[in-house]
A and B are shown apart, each in its own frame.
Chain A
């Protein structure tokens, strides 16, 4: 915990300094080494203070380990970070945009489905449970990769007058291609249970993507992400405690978000 807090704090301070160095009003200060050091020391000190208070409340005996871990985390981030170029200047943003745009294309879904089916060949030597685990994990990873949602794109499509259905279709093309190939493919190669695992896992991720899109139509990305986390947690709780209620609660949740989103179409506040 101390290590991750140190890394987190180091990154936050580094990001703030990088912003000021390239785009902020305090560029001269952000590029001045002594001022940078004082700024970092002050904010990392505040982070350390908070950590110490937390640890003292939770378990004081961990103080001996968590403080050095925090300092190591912050130091490592400071040594590896430096003045980090904003993504747009470094050119890594473009790579991300290209990759995400490609992942939304049907060809990406088809390729992912073929890779999953090919994975079944060596995995068939495993036992039934292990095989299902491979299929489940493979589907989960593929589906997560194939459903990137950019909040800025969702909001632009909303102000351009596109409804929830069009925005969903725009984002779900690759996932649909994946499911169309992977479900029957796994069914034929490894039996109906495998097909059902792919379908259920894929549908769950499509549901998550739908929640994100509907939430981004309504709210800024931070609040929307929190909302989606709450809804997803709620759905998982229902699926665990009362699975028969899931087919009722999930559509009601989506319908509510959709209806509220309809009122936002075209809106440019």
Chain B
């Protein structure tokens, strides 16, 4: 199997507290991996650590076959990562944000491809971030993840604050990009998207793996999303761990 990411027994600390522990996961190249879990279950911490935005407290992290658990900067260079929309500075234009992350705007536009239109980036380029709504900030943050042209991208709850049309269009374009070879890892709260768009996934509960969703499980989920949703909600409610 051609693995893009392989985590074994990783842990992540926030302050003095271990918020992610003993997590194993694998993501194959050219697949969409969905991470779900309740609020505070450790999704964001795990994704930030994977993207080099937080250190791992232990375990093994192989990216493209290379062990990078102890090299935060190398991990950060490997992934396109959307900054939290609320961390974008008010006193920058959308253009400034994308240029700081991805270089010249011409290059960024090229790398975004169809996303440029889907996210409606053009009208946001000359708008102050401080004048943007939450949804507009989210569009810029998502575009920033793709501005560097990385083949591996991590998005933390990308559909938050977007309107229904934007959610639909973005999901379609992301799926098309994954089919063209992009490896995408997303934290999600929308079980419908997980069932219909993701190839594999994982459910976290209290920082531990509660359920690993392989290709077969996702195929079944796509066939009967309602049953999948019911089962997943039951598991999230119980918060119990176990494979």
A156 lies within 8 A of B87 (CB): yes
Known: A150-B91, A156-B87. A269 touches B54 (CB 8 A): yes
List chain B residues, Cβ under 8 A from A267.
Answer: 53-54, 72
B54 lies within 8 A of A156 (CB): no
Hey, what's the 0/1 contact readout for B28-56 against A, CB within 8 Å counting as 1? Answer: 00000000000000000000100011100
List chain B residues, Cβ under 8 A from A156.
Answer: 83, 87-89, 92, 97, 100
Complex Cα distance A153/B87, Å?
9
Number of interface residues of A (CB under 8 A): 22
B90 lies within 8 A of A161 (CB): no
Complex Cα distance A159/B73, Å?
11
Q: Which of B110-169 contact A (CB under 8 A)?
A: 128, 130-131, 144
Complex Cα distance A161/B53, Å?
10
Q: Is the interface of A mostly helix, strand, loop or mixed?
A: helix
Known: A88-B130, A268-B53. A159 touches B100 (CB 8 A): no
Number of interface residues of B (CB under 8 A): 24
B76 lies within 8 A of A161 (CB): yes
Cβ of B19 < 8 Å from any Cβ of A? Answer: no
List chain B residues, Cβ under 8 A from A268.
Answer: 48, 53-54, 83-84, 87
Known: A155-B87, A156-B83. A94 touches B53 (CB 8 A): no
B91 lies within 8 A of A101 (CB): yes
Complex Cα distance A209/B73, Å?
26
B53 lies within 8 A of A266 (CB): yes
Question: Smallest distance from the beta carbon of A90 to chain B beta carbons, Å?
Answer: 13
List chain A residues, Cβ under 8 A from B14.
Answer: 269
B73 lies within 8 A of A265 (CB): yes
Complex Cα distance A157/B53, Å?
13
Cβ of A54 < 8 Å from any Cβ of B? Answer: no
Cβ of B173 < 8 Å from any Cβ of A? Answer: no
Cβ of A11 < 8 Å from any Cβ of B? Answer: no
Cβ of A160 < 8 Å from any Cβ of B? Answer: yes
The 9 closest A-B pairs by CB, nearest first: A268-B53, A152-B89, A266-B76, A97-B91, A153-B89, A156-B89, A160-B101, A150-B91, A266-B52
Q: A97-B90, A156-B87, A156-B100 are in contact. List 8 more A-B contacts (CB 8 A).
A: A88-B90, A94-B128, A150-B91, A156-B89, A160-B83, A160-B144, A161-B77, A268-B83
Q: Give the A-binding residues of B (Cβ under 8 A).
A: 14, 48, 52-54, 72-73, 76-77, 83-84, 87-92, 97, 100-101, 128, 130-131, 144
List 25 interface pairs A-B (beta carbons < 8 Å), by A numbering.
A88-B90, A94-B131, A96-B91, A97-B90, A97-B130, A101-B91, A150-B91, A152-B90, A152-B91, A153-B89, A153-B92, A156-B83, A156-B87, A156-B92, A156-B97, A157-B100, A159-B83, A159-B87, A160-B83, A161-B76, A161-B77, A266-B53, A266-B76, A267-B54, A268-B53
